[in-house]
Chain A
Amino acid sequence: MTQPFRIPGAGRLTPAKIARFTFDGKAYTGLEGDTLASALLANGVHLVGRSFKYHRPRGFLSAGAEEPNALVEISRDATRRTPNVRATVQELYDGLAAQSQNRWPSLGFDVGAVNNLLSPFLSAGFYYKTFMWPKAAWKRLYEPNIRAAAGLGVAPEEADPDHYAARFAHCDVLVVGGGAAGLAAALAAAETGVRVILCDEQPEFGGALRYESGARIEGLDGYSWARQAVEKLAAMDNVRLLTRTTAFGYYAQNFVGLTERVTDHLASPGKAPRERLWQVRAARVVLATGAIERHMVFADNDRPGVMLASAARAFLNEYGVAVGRTIGVYTANDSAYAAAIDLKKAGVDIAAIVDLRDDPSGPLVEQARSLGIEVNPGRAVVGVGGRQRVSSMIVQPTGGGGKRTIPIDALLVSAGWTPSVHLFSQSRGKVAFDAGSQRFLPGLYAQDCRSVGACNGTDGLAETLNEAFAAGEAAAKATLGETSAGGGGNAPKVDASEDWAGGMLGSAPGAGADTTVKAFVDFQNDVTAKDIRQAVREGMRSIEHVKRFTTNGMATDQGKTSNMHGLAIAAETLGKEIPEVGLTTFRAPYTPVTFGAIVNHARHELFDPTRRTATHGWAEAHGAVFEDVGQWKRAWYFPRPGEDMHAAVNRECVTVRRSAGLFDASTLGKIEVVGPDAAAFMELIYTNPWQKLEPGRCRYGIMLREDGFIYDDGVVGRLSDDRFHVTTTTGGAARVMNHMEDYLQTEFPHLNVWLTSISEQWAVIAVQGPKSRDILAPLVEGIDLSDAAMPHMSVREGSICGVPTRLFRMSFTGERGFEVNVPADYGQAVWEAIWAEGEKHGACAYGTEAMHVLRAEKGYIIVGQDTDGTVTPNDAGLDWAVGKKKTDFVGIRGLKRPDLLAPGRKQLVGLKTVDPKVVLEEGAQIVQDPNQPIPMKMIGHVTSSYWSENCGRSIAMAVVAGGHGRLGETLHVPMPDGSIAVEIVSAVFFDETGERLHG
């Protein structure tokens, strides 16, 4: 018989709707609507995992999101392999394939379980103590072995093929949690007509009403009332209902993150996204997040078959599954009685209820007794039999005395309920300890939200519905600017409910202070009561230290079942009250969130866009190899058949100086500075003087930060009295714009100037070389290109190929050169026209590598390569560009700082290797004496270094201490295979007089 633990007539699933699945390769059947956990339990499977540290056999503790043990891997195919899925949350679908984790070679026989025998060496803080020395062994030996032996699932190696959706949503009232409280709050809010979002992590609304058989509301059983409430809400246009949706993070100003699991429960996900991330901004938030049952802390309380009473009840009433045939109950509160009663009524044998309390009473206790269930008050379970499945419980009076062993195959435990204040705490609300009920409850609110029901410590269904209804109504009315009577007068009427009084914190008798048994507090991280006591003995006083030393509550379940027990044990050991010891901080996410949901659409091009210039297609067609410069793709070099990079760059460099070359300079930043005070603004932003620059002329400008260091540079053309065309470095385009705007808006707001980024408006084609004018002349209209009419460093407006152009005569190569600015849409067409002319003169296209070599041959710096944020204009040999008569510019005071004027600063120089064939490494350090003892005194480093075909030798630039005064000196560059002798020279290696610039 399949599913031997499915009870006919119990639960709400349809027996005919079979779903097949496998666990560790073995085939099983379950029912549609099952979770993987309920389906496995229906088949009598309790052993589903091995614990993190000791590899102890583990089963299901819970039936929900708090599950610490039952983590499995779900794989749809090779790429869709999800580790660490809680089997209690994963819904069953036909064909589901699940694997257990953290075991080898099999779940039943796990070699790593030897850790359990070694546990004296693996106690609290073992990471910090055992593996401290030798340091190198950590990386080589300890860490890989610990990782292999103790761990969670294995991350998939292939890229995630699924897609994820994202939505921003706004609402008046967000209700988190769709149990009795959440439904009541949502009903009240929705009836006012405001926009309401109600979300719940479960596949179905109802919360505890899904299993709480004793509740009756408005004449219906609790579950039916919940269904009716959902139908009512679903019919309202102002309400959005989200199931399978977890509110995982509560951020500032009522910004709440939700993840909706869209297809993880479907056999065929189709094209739908796997998950949807909701970023909700709510005017008001109602938290109805409920409470989580705690386990009892006693010896070997982690044996498969030991589970929360509420879980067993959910498995029975929702899924029709009995978690055993002969079930024991160990409790300190009344709610476990309800579980025993339901199971008993379903025909399951309840061996005995063991209650820590001396005199339990109340309707549930009486009902249990009247059903003939044996109730043992004033007794504790001090141990269990069985290894891979619990087989008996050992019962002893709490005051000591004779032990009795009762055979069982499942043990339901309940130490009471912990209010889920996670989101409240994330919202920066301050929790307060309620001594009477021994609970942390919402205290001081930090945001506009209210907690209702169990998460607010409100016991009793009627009180919960009244409170929730009133809060929902008040929240809605507040957004409408109305005040609410807030009495909850129209709240759904409760006809019957269960009383869940009682509870205890910390270790139970038999796992007390002087025992060494393994009584688990945190199942997922294998933290025992003894570990926490040891942490206190070893000097941990703050709960934050205890937490980190023991790792209690630090696993992926974030201590949902363990935090309060751990805190109570620490407090008891310290001899302090719980609030004195404090509560650890709750952090997002409430339950694990996939990277896919967070990353969402921001992958590939949508994460980091690629920017391409107007001539990209042409360059591609002409064989360009591209390099990434920031987000830009730039043509690096244009190899011809048979050429490697070196050969291509050499040819390009030689061709430019012999004939001409075309270069796409479009990526340079371009800013238009316009207005009556444009020149005054330029004076303040740049070191150079600008007032006297005539329209039609250009100037190389340097921009500093206030500290006096070079920030950016570029050629600036003055188009008219009130209009400058500024260029910046490629990488500096955005920040220079920001820098200029900052000063214009905040320091110099009196200036009448407008700044416009025009980087993407103009395509820039550099035509460089002795033939550049001959190439352009046939294409340009309305501009006299003669040296007399248009000398070096001038700018003209006219047209080229019938397209408007801003034509600069400027050079970054040291040759006669032009930069043709045309509207970007015409960039490729104009390039092609110039190229056709260029070919007649033997010109080439050249890339960024040749550009770098050509500029280095002339000693032109690249900001960010030859400067590093600590270089002044003087250091760079650019003192001439600082206006000596100016009374203000950004950086003027910084330049006067004593250290910037002191002798011995690193200054930019040229280097020639004594052996001209040797090309230095960029970044290599420079020393005076290569024979000095190590560590050597380093006096500078190489900033740029190339082979220069035009010079027939290697060339390099460097910053060297006192470099300007060292011309002619020989220094040394120590390298692993010997020292390289270099001579300090002027940084101009080619055409030192600069006559080629002028034609």
Chain B
Amino acid sequence: MLLIRCPYCEEERPELEFRHAGEAHVVRSSDMAEISDEAFEQFFFIRSNPKGIVFERWRHLHGCARFFNAARDTVSDRFLATYKAGEPKPDVSKFAADAGPAAYANVPPAELNDREGGAKQ
């Protein structure tokens, strides 16, 4: 069971309290009714599903009930960062340096999600 840091509650809570809510940063147009078929296809059907760092939405359903965003490595399941809805995507390049499993081992669990913009140092 993963520990996930809720950026609203500002603490790590067990995965049981959360629900996954699909890919993050999929922008709904402010002119929704008028977007092209292609734009709608991108918006509604196309998802990235990468091996590696994924940006995804979670909801702290059995907690504060807020939706938030997370950057997670789909290989290690490791959460690289969690941040509030509406905040910009963290810079992926900052994760690359410590994305390996060895780095994971060397980070105390309590600090795993506790990093500004991803990079600890």
State in angstroms the CA–CA spacing of A428 and B104 once bound together. 11
State in angstroms the CA–CA spacing of A279 and B86 once bound together. 35
Within 8 A of A (CB), among B50-109: 57, 59, 61, 65-67, 76-78, 85-86, 101-102, 104-109
Q: Which of A279, A449, A746 has the most CB of B within 10 A?
A: A746
Within 8 A of B (CB), among A475-507: 478
Cβ of A898: which chain B residues have Cβ within 8 Å of it?
37
Q: Is A586 an interface residue (CB 8 A)?
A: no
The answer to whether A253 and B109 touch (CB under 8 A), given A428-B76, A430-B101, is yes
Cβ of B28: which chain A residues have Cβ within 8 Å of it?
706, 747
Is A749 in contact with B2, judged by CB distance below 8 angstroms? Answer: no
State in angstroms the CA–CA spacing of A429 and B105 once bound together. 9
Cβ of B44: which chain A residues have Cβ within 8 Å of it?
706-707, 894
Is B57 in contact with A894, judged by CB distance below 8 angstroms? Answer: no
State in angstroms the CA–CA spacing of A281 and B109 once bound together. 10
Cβ of B109: which chain A residues have Cβ within 8 Å of it?
253-254, 283, 448
- A579 CB to closest chain B CB (Å) equals 18
Query: Nearest residue in A to B45 (C-beta to C-beta)?
Result: A707
Is A253 in contact with B105, judged by CB distance below 8 angstroms? Answer: no
State in angstroms the CA–CA spacing of A529 and B85 once bound together. 58
Within 8 A of B (CB), among A728-757: 738, 741-742, 745-747, 749
Is A444 in contact with B102, judged by CB distance below 8 angstroms? Answer: yes
- A131 CB to closest chain B CB (Å) equals 37
The answer to whether A888 and B101 touch (CB under 8 A), given A251-B1, A253-B112, A893-B40, is no
Is B32 in contact with A447, judged by CB distance below 8 angstroms? Answer: no
Cβ of A745: which chain B residues have Cβ within 8 Å of it?
66-67, 85
Is A749 in contact with B85, judged by CB distance below 8 angstroms? Answer: yes
Q: Is A47 an interface residue (CB 8 A)?
A: no
Q: Is A700 an interface residue (CB 8 A)?
A: no
Is B65 in contact with A741, judged by CB distance below 8 angstroms? Answer: yes
Cβ of A892: which chain B residues have Cβ within 8 Å of it?
32-33
Cβ of B1: which chain A residues have Cβ within 8 Å of it?
251-252, 255, 279
Q: Is B9 an interface residue (CB 8 A)?
A: no
Q: Is A897 an interface residue (CB 8 A)?
A: yes
State in angstroms the CA–CA spacing of A509 and B77 once bound together. 46
Cβ of A251: which chain B residues have Cβ within 8 Å of it?
1
Question: At the interface, is chain B mostly helix, strand, loop or mixed?
Answer: mixed
State in angstroms the CA–CA spacing of A253 and B33 once bound together. 44
- B103 CB to closest chain A CB (Å) equals 10
Is B101 in contact with A252, judged by CB distance below 8 angstroms? Answer: no
Within 8 A of B (CB), among A865-918: 887-888, 892-894, 896-898
Partner of B59, one of A255, A283, A706, A738: A738
The answer to whether A252 and B77 touch (CB under 8 A), given A279-B1, A746-B57, is yes
State in angstroms the CA–CA spacing of A449 and B108 once bound together. 10
State in angstroms the CA–CA spacing of A926 and B28 once bound together. 39
Q: Is A28 an interface residue (CB 8 A)?
A: no
State in angstroms the CA–CA spacing of A887 and B34 once bound together. 9
Is B33 in contact with A888, judged by CB distance below 8 angstroms? Answer: yes
- B17 CB to closest chain A CB (Å) equals 13
Is B40 in contact with A894, judged by CB distance below 8 angstroms? Answer: yes
Within 8 A of B (CB), among A223-260: 251-255
Is A446 in contact with B112, judged by CB distance below 8 angstroms? Answer: no
Is B108 in contact with A283, judged by CB distance below 8 angstroms? Answer: yes
Mask: chain A, 412-453; 1 = CB below 8 Å from B; 0 = not: 000000000000000011100000000000001111110000
Is A448 in contact with B105, judged by CB distance below 8 angstroms? Answer: yes
Cβ of B19: which chain A residues have Cβ within 8 Å of it?
738
Partner of B67, one of A255, A283, A478, A742: A742
Partner of A893, one of B32, B101, B107: B32
State in angstroms the CA–CA spacing of A746 and B1 once bound together. 26
Is B85 in contact with A746, judged by CB distance below 8 angstroms? Answer: yes
Partner of B2, one of A252, A478, A738, A888: A252
Q: Is B3 an interface residue (CB 8 A)?
A: yes
Within 8 A of B (CB), among A261-289: 279, 281, 283
Is A478 in contact with B101, judged by CB distance below 8 angstroms? Answer: no
State in angstroms the CA–CA spacing of A635 and B77 once bound together. 46
Is B76 in contact with A446, judged by CB distance below 8 angstroms? Answer: yes
State in angstroms the CA–CA spacing of A446 and B107 once bound together. 10
Is A448 in contact with B108, judged by CB distance below 8 angstroms? Answer: yes
Is B33 in contact with A445, judged by CB distance below 8 angstroms? Answer: no
Query: Nearest residue in B to A282 (C-beta to C-beta)?
Result: B109
Is A445 in contact with B102, judged by CB distance below 8 angstroms? Answer: yes
Cβ of B61: which chain A residues have Cβ within 8 Å of it?
738
- B20 CB to closest chain A CB (Å) equals 12
State in angstroms the CA–CA spacing of A444 and B104 once bound together. 10
Cβ of A429: which chain B residues have Cβ within 8 Å of it?
101, 105
Is A746 in contact with B67, judged by CB distance below 8 angstroms? Answer: yes
Is B76 in contact with A741, judged by CB distance below 8 angstroms? Answer: no
- B75 CB to closest chain A CB (Å) equals 9
Cβ of B46: which chain A residues have Cβ within 8 Å of it?
none
Is B101 in contact with A446, judged by CB distance below 8 angstroms? Answer: yes
New A-B pairs, 13, CB < 8 Å, besides A428-B76, A445-B101, A745-B67: A283-B108, A428-B101, A430-B101, A445-B105, A446-B104, A478-B108, A738-B59, A741-B59, A741-B65, A749-B86, A893-B33, A893-B40, A894-B44
A-B contact pairs, 26 of them (CB 8 A): A251-B1, A252-B1, A252-B77, A252-B78, A255-B1, A281-B3, A283-B110, A428-B76, A428-B101, A446-B76, A446-B102, A447-B105, A448-B105, A448-B107, A448-B108, A745-B66, A745-B85, A746-B57, A746-B85, A746-B86, A749-B85, A749-B86, A888-B33, A893-B34, A893-B35, A898-B37
Binding site for A on B (CB under 8 A): 1-3, 19, 21, 28, 32-35, 37, 40, 43-44, 57, 59, 61, 65-67, 76-78, 85-86, 101-102, 104-110, 112
What 7 pairs between A and B have smallest CB-CB spacing?
A: A445-B105, A446-B101, A892-B33, A745-B67, A746-B85, A253-B3, A893-B32
